[in-house]
Amino acid sequence: MTLVPAAAIDAASVDAAITSRMSARAFLPQAVPRATLEHILQVASRAPSGTNTQPWKVYVLQGASRDTLVDKVCAAHDALRADPSLAADYREEYDYYPEKWVSPYIDRRRENGWGLYGLLGIGKGDKDKMHHQHQRNFRFFDAPVGLMFTLDKVMGRGSLVDYGMFLQNIMVAARGQGLHTCPQAAWNGFAKIILPHIGAAENEMLVCGMALGFADASDPVNGFHTPRETVASFTTWL
């Protein structure tokens, strides 16, 4: 009896699940069966974590619980636009982005932002359209399933590395079921609304949200695919 699992039977399918993953920004209303969601989460739970701590905790929002959270956060997002001084009330619990941007990261960020906005016909300075598109995050891009991920505050920064592998597993496993996802750090600033809504304990912090469902293939926004650097650009062979 072998103690090491054999290679995947169809390596091409594994590669396809990874390379076909994209951040979908328009979804169909088609429901996702609970059994499918449970399967995805079970598969994803095989993600590695330091000393097998498995630090992830998942909240699945559908139906009324999803819609109520959407309404709450969209209202807060609108209020924040009307009164920017409210920003002090909506702070992330950890720094997802750097305080000061430098190249090449700021260049990639700008390319991403203006590439998406250009596809959607949103010009620089068109604040109304920008606000509307940003708020699409808080509607889960119309996906019927919203996921919220939390982490016990007692855990160290290494648990965020573990979490990233778990999240990637979810997204890849979703592709295996013909589904798409969009991981969303945009929710993080509204943790004070989200955590009570999902019933999180005092010791939990929000890591991110995620939209999950069947992508709308007819929506042009899903034609936006971000570029990737070459292996040669980020690899040093020793």
Find the domain containing 203 and state its range: 15-224
Q: Is 180 exposed, middle or buried (0-12, 13-18, 19+ CB in 10 A)?
A: buried
CATH number of residue 200's parent domain: 3.40.109.10
Domain count, the chain: 1
Q: What is the pLDDT of residues 151-204, one digit of tens each?
A: 999 999 999 999 999 999 999 999 999 999 999 999 999 999 999 999 999 999
C-alpha to C-alpha distances, 114 to 107, 111, 120, 209, nearest whole angstrom: 11, 6, 10, 23
Query: For 36-76, how does the pLDDT look when each residue is reduced to its tens digit (9 = 90+)?
Result: 999 999 999 999 999 999 999 999 999 999 999 999 999 99
Q: pLDDT per residue over 207-232, tens digit each?
A: 999 999 999 999 999 999 999 999 99
7 inside domain: no
Strand ranges inside the chain, DSSP E = 57-61, 145-152, 180-184, 204-213
Residues facing residue 211 across a β-bridge: 146, 182
- Half-sphere exposure of 52 toward its Cβ, with a 13 Å CA cutoff? 1
For residue 95, being part of any structural domain is answered with yes
User: Domain for residue 204, yes or no?
Assistant: yes
In a domain, 155, yes or no: yes
Domain contains 218:
yes
